[in-house]
Structure 1
């Protein structure tokens, strides 16, 4: 039986947020300290090839910028006020359900081909695969962020090896499949954590993991991640309300991962129906083994990913506006 890949908790460490994927394999799990249309409540056993083409060429009215007062963050550092300096260019919005990322119901990822390096089950080939996927994600997300008048910067991607490694957000160890650190805007994708001995030669599985972590980068750039963490910290990180916020954040990243696969499948590049089908059927990344309820049920992890893949609309991934029953 293939062990499920479970996406685990979020924590603030040394001024940064770390978003982690770890492996649940029937035993202990590695855990970091941690309108709109109807949202999905059930998953589909049959994969769908139907996606909605996105249009980012239309114009919208200029949206106002947020003015953020100085406050203490969860890591104890003080942020500058907007009055102390005037930043140039688009700025993140410290908002959740009403973040500009979600507000235009017609905005989705552009449908474009993505040409990928051939996957093979070794570290060099896997890093080449992710490096070839990165410009595809950079391109489509830059267009969405520019259209939404939000900042965009390409993330760094690192491929650590060995049993333990470090990031500005903290240390990681064996069994961590992937994580995102907001402090240095870096995705960490260790080959040894991808569980290729279980999934085998199924690049769609790994592309979906990569797209999920990239979605956390988008959350950070938009201001959603900081707003989420501040709200969770205020509610109590491990309180019922705090854990629900964590589930909303992770399920939104699941949905955004789906939008990428759905937007590029069958567009003349490397993402064919086989790769899409493998991704579609591998999203059982919910909470397992009695751990904290910080990522949602398997059914919701599956259904939100599939919802994003089918709809390809940012607004459809706004878990912050969904009912609690849809993010349980």
Structure 2
């Protein structure tokens, strides 16, 4: 069956980032680690089908279309690498306007990295909406998660990345580390790539069919989340050593994914710290075929 497009209490509604699951499917809290924190992702609602712009005049049969498949998805069966991109990010600061500007330019750079690859695969492209309000607001995915549930998330219903500045500069968010903020944004954009490609909808359908807390449903959630880490790693490699993203910053951003709290098996929808790190680094060193979490052994996504 189809995954609901609105949350309505359903924890499949959002992909939340940089919070740690400690109780319940979306019982999230921030846990410190020697002055650093590493949040873990939540769940996603599938995006509506994405078509090419009808006003483009392109024949309907030639329009790029999302493909609702997983392990045999064309984006994954052919190895496609992101071209080198030069990100011109503004000077980093933790004020509301400084963070909003940093995120906006980050999305510009992510767009430049991902659009050619999606086009080559015959898939649609659209830049995500970006919400940088200080706090999260209710929206198409339902009631906004509280501060101890999530500090950022992606809503597939309106294809929006939510990066609330007040939460992200607080303990448990990126705080004053530009690399952590970039890692957060790149992961959330990874879910946008999944939505554009059709994998987010296909994966959420599997979760809904299995049951959100069923072992099979949790495993599919981990496959989606770990792939978003991998896509983030691909972007960080494409931007590394150019413009505003020097190699140190890129490496620090990739390393950020390893700082996760171990979830109990009955609530593990995100993967172990080791696997989160492994998949981010797989993307950092490879292309889209390296991010095929859907064909990986169960242990690699545990």
TM-score range, shorter chain: 0.7 to 0.9
Shift in alpha-carbon separation, 1:87–1:232, aligned structure 2, 3 A: farther
1:186 paired with 2:182, answer no
Residues 257-291 of structure 1: CA deviation (Å, up to 9, x unaligned): 01101111113x11002212321321135454647
1:264 paired with 2:239, answer yes
1:152 paired with 2:125, answer yes
TM-score where L is the length of structure 1: 0.74
Higher helix share: 2
1:135 paired with 2:101, answer no
CA distance in 2, matches of 1:303, 1:129: 27
CA distance in 2, matches of 1:276, 1:168: 33
Q: Report the Cα offset of residue 22 of structure 1.
A: 4.4
Q: What RMSD, in angstroms, separates the aligned Cα atoms of the two structures?
A: 2.7
Matches within 5 A, 1:157-306: 157-162=130-135, 165-172=137-144, 173-175=146-148, 176-197=150-171, 199-267=174-242, 269-284=243-258, 286=260, 288=262, 290=264, 292-306=267-281
Structure 1 residue matching 2:208: 3-state secondary structure: helix
Matches within 5 A, 1:84-123: 89-105=63-79, 107-123=80-96
Shift in alpha-carbon separation, 1:296–1:208, aligned structure 2, 3 A: same
CA distance in 2, matches of 1:28, 1:194: 22
Hey, what does 2:32 align to over in structure 1? none
CA distance in 2, matches of 1:192, 1:217: 23
CA distance in 2, matches of 1:155, 1:93: 18
CA distance in 2, matches of 1:29, 1:261: 32
CA distance in 2, matches of 1:178, 1:87: 37
CA distance in 1, matches of 2:161, 2:121: 23
Q: Report the Cα offset of residue 196 of structure 1.
A: 4.4
CA distance in 2, matches of 1:294, 1:24: 11
For the 8 Å contact 2:5–2:157, the answer to whether it is kept is no
Larger radius of gyration: 1
For the 8 Å contact 1:20–1:32, the answer to whether it is kept is no
Which of 28, 31, 34 aligns to 2:26? It is: 31
Structure 1: gaps (5+ residues): 1-10, 34-74, 80-85
Structure 1 residue matching 2:153: 3-state secondary structure: strand
Which of 317, 324, 327 aligns to 2:291? It is: 317
TM-score where L is the length of structure 2: 0.80
Shift in alpha-carbon separation, 1:29–1:262, aligned structure 2, 3 A: farther
Higher strand share: 1
For the 8 Å contact 1:159–1:190, the answer to whether it is kept is yes
Q: Report the Cα offset of residue 192 of structure 1.
A: 2.2
Of 182-191 and 15-24, deviating more is 15-24
